[in-house]
């Protein structure tokens, strides 16, 4: 790794790869940083190089993403900085950005004239009675085990929530040889069908995006996996680990649960940088605001993909290409007309994907389906703050004030898990949530200390 | 128009504690806070109870050290106040007063410690010098490089987040009106008393207490008063929780360091490392906006912590934060009635966690007609020369 | 449960978790080794059992200690290595 780059891309998923590819040939010094050792993002989280996996992510859904990943991995002249977390970014006196990274070799800093944040999203954490029992996972966490580590963290798994992705995850679990006890959608099937019927054109044009979920459901049905609608989670039961779930339809035995109520942008870095943010959507969270070239409100800082709103990998690829052209434009490598021509088709595709994402947002909307918490339900896992501890200090305060009063959000995750829940409880739409603090990920003191 | 005996601007520790003392003495008190209670320096500081002379008083010349030593009388009162506070407020404030160590790593620093302790003892503070082995005997976590330590058996820490909240609750319980999210929009002196307005209410009071930290000088300016309090931005850091092992407040006589372990198990590390104050578009400092962290401050603070207590090197930092406090032109707090504006009281200028409950108690006592000569050393009278031009 | 079909792994190695000897395959993360052992990977601030949650480095609930050096890392982002000693808690 060098000390200075023209561009640092944070995130090697669909958006980050697309931006790097769009900028190839311009002679820029580019670094791509990712917490995973290999590129792909969560959608194509690669198996370790030591594994031999036949037909990995072979479905047609993933074909375009696999192709782009192949092109990205073949790129020469960019520095792939995998296995590193970005702890923070600041502005140096020469107007470049300073990124603080941590990884196996300790803490490193790099400077970049421009930074593109393509950090993706995370599962929305949804508190309910029993959700802290070992064996309860974010659905995306289970899927990452299946895709990358080639394990299934349970023998009988229940997936529950409101997001159709759980059909694909269940399908992948079954294909891997484990058993899915049930897939539970909190919303009714009729409500989902009605939303599709309300947007027939969007649905029809994006049939290819809907088909996999439908095909997955058909396969699950054939294998006898119950896919049930209008079934709300009431609680997860077990002694020291998951033994089953209680739902509106009764009890289902299982040894693992995947919660799938939607996704929220990874927003720590744009918030730390002071970029303008907006409420991300029905699942909650904060999205970085950008203009038509993916510029944030902070000069030189760009964002693309799900950092700017959860809209799927195809939309992220488009946004990455637009960001690449925008960065080339701003660096004087492309004339305005040429930049616009380069992305004209991409913009049309992007708009189409965003329309579909908006439809999916409505279908998957967890609002109104969040499980009912008990007073003893833990809202902040890091600090073990219960709902009852919070209720006494909600009286019209800001999220930051509740944090100070209750410790909610004071732990190692910096409130990434509990913030959406707290903001729902506060119900103040103007509350910007917790102040973003350094470091975005925990880091060893000894790695940060000045040399002796 | 609502009237009160006392209007207080600032819902931090001193404002809330003053409101409590006055209200339970029977006064009608209204407190205006621009944001939420305890969200400024009162909630952002790391909760040190420090009674040894601070390093900042020792490295700026003999005259300041001598003057600062005379605040020892206030420290003696504060020790008693803190020992009784949890019982008096009926709240668990996680007050721990198991002692504090101010360490030295060089012979020169040991010399500073010796002179400091002589001064403190002369002022009646029971601090004593330990050699390195004595220090490690009571604080085995200290590095082998520690040559000596000043020890005060009364030092320690408390939960800064809980203390201001407890004062606020006690004040409300005693009848004080605490208005949150009510920034002051105007302030003026009347023939008798003061008038303060926020967005939806105008209030009059016989007395006014200005205790709003970094904003104190701005509120004073609305009353045509100079108050030499300057915003400064500082860095604080918290590690992940770890097993209890650091019982004391640990400070350093020659380096910027303050370190303690909270009730929950996090180790809080600070000590006066600067952050960068945000600036408004017109170039003035803007204490409302979050100050920017300075990388060198973080690296230096971590190094000082590790050199002092090596075990912290393996802990994860989970949060660094910056906060704004105010320091006065001569580093000493400014607390008391403004001589040229009777009825106007000011409290600001640092040390307001450790000494805050005492400042509040003494101000309320003096307003009640019982003199509080202990406050003379920190009176705003010493800056009256600035206001001689203000008419 | 390790997926067996269509996956080839290299020869396993052993490592220690809380003094217990476990088998792992090259390329596996510490999280994988832990989850194969038990869903319980430590305890929460209130003493209750802690499980893994996000498996992508975000939730920070899977901090483990690499012994003897004492470095604390996120298990889901850290590769298991032969002879490693891992402390939970």
- Residue A129 inside a domain? The answer is yes
Q: Does A189 touch chain C (CB under 8 A)?
A: no
Average pLDDT score over residue span B12-29: 98
Which residue, A214, A237, A261, sits at the end of a domain?
A261
In this structure, the number of other CB atoms found within 10 A of the CB of residue B334 comes to 27
Residue closest to A74 by CA, chosen among A114, A19, A24: A24
pLDDT at B59: 83
Model pLDDT for residues A82-111, shown as the tens digit of each residue? 999 999 999 888 889 999 999 988 999 999
d(CA A347, CA A48): 35
pLDDT tens string B350-387: 888 999 999 999 999 999 999 999 999 999 999 999 99
Rounded CA-CA distance A152/B389 in Å is 78
pLDDT at A201 > cutoff 90? no
Does the pLDDT of residue A209 top 80, yes or no?
no
**Nearest residue in A to B315, CA atom:** A444
User: Is A327 in the same domain as A212?
Assistant: no
- Residue-wise pLDDT tens digits, B202-224: 999 999 999 999 999 999 999 99
What does the block give as tokens for B230?
A: 């300057």
Report pLDDT for B62: 84
Report, as an integer, the average pLDDT of B101-106.
98
Contacts of A109 in chain B (CB under 8 A): 295
Percentage with pLDDT > 70 across chain A: 100
Confirm whether A326 is domain-assigned.
yes
Considering CB atoms only, which of B292, B306, B317 is closest to A443?
Answer: B317
Which CATH number is associated with domain B2-43+161-228+330-387? 3.50.50.60
Segment holding B184, helix H or strand E: strand B184-189
Per-residue pLDDT band at A121 (split at 50, 70, 90): very high
> Given a cut of 80, is residue A204 above it in pLDDT?
no
Q: What is the pLDDT of residue B367?
A: 97
A268 and A237 in a common domain: no
- Is A104 found in the same domain as A218? no
Q: What average pLDDT does the segment A154-158 reach?
A: 97
R_g of chain B, CA atoms, integer Å: 21
Please check whether residues A243 and A273 belong to one and the same domain.
no
pLDDT at B69: 87
CB B188 within 8 A of CB B26: no
Between A291 and A193, where is the model more confident?
A291
How far is the alpha carbon of C37 from chain A, nearest alpha carbon, in Å?
A: 10
B194 phi and psi angles, rounded to 5 deg = -140, 155
What three-state secondary structure class fits B330? coil
Has residue A441 been placed in a domain?
no
- Nearest chain B residue to A100 by CA distance is B295
Longest dimension (CA), chain B: 65
Q: Is residue A433 part of a domain?
A: no
Does position A421 have pLDDT exceeding 80, yes or no?
Answer: yes
Contact residues for A161 (Cβ-Cβ < 8 A; gap 6+): A126, A139, A184, A185, A186, A233, A258, A259, A260, A261, A262, A366
Query: Does the domain at residues B95-156+230-328 carry the CATH identifier 3.40.50.2000?
Result: no
pLDDT (mean) for A184-200: 91
Q: What is the pLDDT of residue A243?
A: 98
Judgement on whether residues A9 and A54 belong to the same structural domain of the protein: yes
Assigned token pair, A431: 């509350």
Cα separation, B237 vs B273, whole angstroms: 11
Tell me what pLDDT residue A220 has: 96
Q: A164 in a domain, yes or no? A: yes
Q: Where would I find the H helices in A161-302?
A: 165-175, 189-198, 200-205, 207-222, 268-272
**Is C45 in the B-facing interface, judged by CB distances under 8 Å?**
yes
Of the listed ranges B100-104, B165-169, B275-279, B348-352, the one predicted with least confidence: B348-352
Name the domain count of chain A: 3
For C12, residues 6+ apart whose C-beta sits below 8 A from its C-beta are C23, C24, C25
**Cα–Cα distance for residue pair A30/A23, rounded to 1 Å:** 9
Q: In the predicted model, what is the mean pLDDT of chain B?
A: 95
Asked whether residue A170 is assigned to any structural domain, the reply reads yes
A392 inside 8 A of chain B by CB: no
- Residue A220: give the domain boundaries: 125-261
Residue A447 lies inside a defined structural domain of this protein: no
Question: Across the interface, do B314 and C70 touch by the CB < 8 Å criterion?
Answer: yes
pLDDT exceeds 90 at position A253: yes
- Domain-located, residue A450: no
Give the separation between CA A50 and CA C28, rounded to whole angstroms.
9
- For chain B, the structural domain boundaries read 2-43+161-228+330-387, 95-156+230-328
Confidence of residue A203 (pLDDT cuts 50, 70, 90): confident
For residue A59, the model assigns a pLDDT of 84
Same domain, A78 and A133: no
A53 touches chain C (CB under 8 A): yes
- Helical H segments across chain B, by residue range: 13-24, 41-44, 55-58, 62-69, 72-89, 107-122, 132-138, 160-173, 216-222, 295-308, 356-367, 384-387
Instruction: Name the nearest CA neighbour of B42 among B18, B19, B11.
Output: B11
Nearest to A327 by CA among A46, A92, A23: A23
- A174 half-sphere exposure, CB direction, 13 A CA radius: 23
- B264 has a chain C CB within 8 A of its CB: yes
SS (H, E, C) A20-77: HHHCCCCCCCEEEECCCCCCCCCCCCCCCCCCEECCCCCCHHHHHHHHHHHHHHHCCC
Average pLDDT over residues A295-304: 98
Top pLDDT among C19 and B64 is at C19
Q: Is the pLDDT of residue A410 over 90?
A: yes
Q: What is the pLDDT of residue B60?
A: 83
Q: Which of B240, B264, B314 sits opposite C71 (nearest CB)?
A: B314
Q: Which domains does chain C have, with CATH numbers?
A: 13-87 (3.10.20.440)
- Do A294 and A340 fall into the same domain? yes
Furthest C-alpha separation in chain A: 67
pLDDT of residue A272: 95
CA distance A440 to B319: 8
A286 shares its domain with A405: no
Tell me how far apart the alpha carbons of residues C65 and B164 are, in angstroms, rounded to a whole number.
Answer: 36
Residue A5 near residue A27 (C-beta atoms within 8 A): no
In this complex, is the C-beta atom of A46 within 8 Å of any C-beta atom belonging to chain C?
no
DSSP-derived secondary structure letter, A86: E
Chain C residue with the nearest C-alpha to that of B314: C71
Could you tell me if C29 lies within 8 Å of chain A, comparing CB atoms? yes
User: Which residues of B are less than 8 Å from C74 in CB distance?
Assistant: none
Query: For position B82, what pLDDT does the model report?
Result: 98
Is the pLDDT at A208 greater than 80? The verdict is no
């Amino acid at each position: 790794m060098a000390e200075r780059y023209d561009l640092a891309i944070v995130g090697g998923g669909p958006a980050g790869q697309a931006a790097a590819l769009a900028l190839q040939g311009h002679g820029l010094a580019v670094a791509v940083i990712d917490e995973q050792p290999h590129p792909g993002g969560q959608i194509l989280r690669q198996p370790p190089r030591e594994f031999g996996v036949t037909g990995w992510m072979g479905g047609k859904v993933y074909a375009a993403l696999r192709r782009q990943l192949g092109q990205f991995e073949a790129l020469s002249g960019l520095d792939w900085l995998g296995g590193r977390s970005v702890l923070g970014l600041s502005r140096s006196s020469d107007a470049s950005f300073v990124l603080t990274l941590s990884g196996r070799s300790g803490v490193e800093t790099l400077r970049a004239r421009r930074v593109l944040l393509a950090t993706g999203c995370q599962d929305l954490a949804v508190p309910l009675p029993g959700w802290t029992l070992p064996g309860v996972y974010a659905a995306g966490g289970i899927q990452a085990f299946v895709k990358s580590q080639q394990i299934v963290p349970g023998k009988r798994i229940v997936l529950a929530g409101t997001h159709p992705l759980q059909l694909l995850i269940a399908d992948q679990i079954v294909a891997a040889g484990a058993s899915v006890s049930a897939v539970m959608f909190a919303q009714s099937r009729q409500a989902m069908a009605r939303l599709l019927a309300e947007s027939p054109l969007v649905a029809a044009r994006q049939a290819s995006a809907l088909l996999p979920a439908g095909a997955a459901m058909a396969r699950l049905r054939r294998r006898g996996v119950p896919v049930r609608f209008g079934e709300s989670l009431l609680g997860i039961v077990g002694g020291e680990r998951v033994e089953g779930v209680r739902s509106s339809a009764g009890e289902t035995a299982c040894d693992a649960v995947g919660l799938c109520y939607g996704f929220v942008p990874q927003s720590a870095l744009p918030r730390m940088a002071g970029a303008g943010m907006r409420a991300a959507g029905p699942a909650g969270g904060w999205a970085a605001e950008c203009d038509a070239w993916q510029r944030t409100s902070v000069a030189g800082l760009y964002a693309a993909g799900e950092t700017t709103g959860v809209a799927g990998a195809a939309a992220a690829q488009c946004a990455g290409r637009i960001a690449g052209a925008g960065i080339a434009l701003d660096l004087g490598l492309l004339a305005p007309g040429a930049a616009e021509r380069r992305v004209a088709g991409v913009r049309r595709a992007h708009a189409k994907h965003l329309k579909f994402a908006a439809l999916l947002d409505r279908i998957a909307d967890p609002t109104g389906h969040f499980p009912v918490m008990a007073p003893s339900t833990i809202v902040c896992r890091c600090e073990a703050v219960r709902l009852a501890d919070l209720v006494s200090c909600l009286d019209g305060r800001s999220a930051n004030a509740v944090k100070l009063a209750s410790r909610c959000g004071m732990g190692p995750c910096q409130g990434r898990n509990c913030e959406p829940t707290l903001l729902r409880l506060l119900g103040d739409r103007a509350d910007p949530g917790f102040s973003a603090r350094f470091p975005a990920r925990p880091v060893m003191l000894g790695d940060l200390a000045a040399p002796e | 128009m609502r009237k009160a005996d006392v209007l207080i601007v600032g819902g931090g520790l001193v404002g809330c504690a003053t409101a409590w003392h006055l209200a339970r003495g029977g006064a009608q008190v209204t407190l205006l806070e621009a944001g939420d209670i305890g969200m400024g320096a009162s909630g952002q500081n790391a909760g040190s109870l420090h009674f040894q002379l601070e390093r900042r008083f020792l490295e700026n010349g003999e005259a300041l050290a001598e003057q600062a030593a005379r605040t020892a009388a206030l420290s003696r009162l504060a020790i008693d106040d803190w020992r009784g506070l949890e019982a008096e407020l009926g709240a668990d404030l996680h007050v721990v007063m198991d002692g504090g160590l101010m360490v030295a790593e060089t012979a020169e620093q040991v010399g500073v410690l010796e002179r400091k302790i002589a001064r403190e003892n002369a002022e009646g503070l029971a601090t004593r010098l330990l050699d390195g082995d004595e220090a490690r005997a009571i604080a085995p976590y200290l590095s082998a490089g520690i040559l000596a330590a000043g020890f005060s058996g009364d030092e320690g820490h408390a939960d800064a987040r809980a203390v201001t909240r407890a004062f606020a609750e006690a004040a409300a319980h005693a009848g004080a009106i605490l208005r949150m999210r009510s920034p002051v929009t105007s302030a003026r002196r009347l023939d008798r008393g003061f008038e303060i307005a926020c967005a939806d209410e105008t209030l009059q009071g016989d007395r006014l207490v200005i205790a709003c930290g970094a904003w104190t000088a701005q509120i004073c300016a609305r009353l045509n008063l100079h108050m030499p309090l300057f915003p400064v931005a500082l860095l604080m850091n918290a590690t992940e929780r770890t097993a209890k092992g650091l019982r004391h407040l640990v400070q350093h006589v020659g380096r910027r360091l303050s370190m303690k372990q909270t009730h929950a198990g996090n180790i809080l590390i600070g000590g006066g490392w600067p952050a960068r104050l945000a600036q408004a578009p017109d170039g003035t400092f803007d204490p409302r906006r979050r100050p920017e962290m300075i990388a060198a401050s973080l690296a230096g603070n971590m190094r000082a912590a590790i050199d002092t207590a090596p075990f912290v090197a393996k802990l994860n930092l989970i949060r660094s934060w910056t906060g704004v406090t105010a320091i006065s032109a001569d580093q000493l707090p400014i607390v008391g009635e403004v001589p040229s504006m009777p009825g106007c009281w000011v409290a600001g200028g640092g040390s307001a966690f450790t000494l805050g409950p005492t400042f509040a108690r003494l101000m309320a006592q003096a307003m009640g007609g019982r003199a509080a000569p202990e406050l003379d050393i920190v009176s705003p009278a010493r800056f009256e020369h600035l206001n001689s031009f203000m008419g | 449960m390790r997926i067996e079909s269509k996956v080839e792994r290299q020869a396993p190695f052993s490592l220690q978790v809380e003094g217990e000897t476990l088998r792992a395959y090259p390329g596996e993360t510490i999280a994988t080794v832990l989850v194969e052992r038990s869903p319980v990977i430590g305890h929460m601030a209130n003493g209750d059992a802690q499980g893994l949650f996000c498996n992508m480095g975000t939730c920070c609930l899977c901090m483990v200690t690499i012994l003897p050096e004492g470095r604390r890392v996120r298990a889901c982002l850290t590769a298991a290595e032969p002879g490693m000693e891992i402390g939970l808690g």
